[in-house]
Amino acid sequence: MNSEEIKSKMLKENEVEADIKLEFIDLPMIHCYGQETADAIIDALAKTDQIDLFNNKVIQILLDYKWSLTKKYTLWQLFVPF
């Protein structure tokens, strides 16, 4: 089998194409609790008076991600005992 046969059998062109939009947020260690950078960002957001910051898509994604990690802990530690 030569390389052209392999290409023709394995790499079939598809007529359906779709654009993909990728967005990356480069915030190293932002997912880790106890990291100085992550804590500083969350503290700054908690103390801000600029409510329009929360309309920013990156901030919304960050908070949604962090909340999903802390939701269970918050429920079990703060509300379940009562």
Give the mean model confidence (pLDDT) for residues 33-59.
90
Count of Cβ atoms closer than 10 Å to residue 12 Cβ? 7
Would you state the pLDDT for residue 50? 96
On the question of pLDDT at 62 being above 90, the answer is: no
Question: Is residue 20 within 8 Å of residue 11, measured between CB atoms?
Answer: no
On the question of pLDDT at 61 being above 80, the answer is: yes
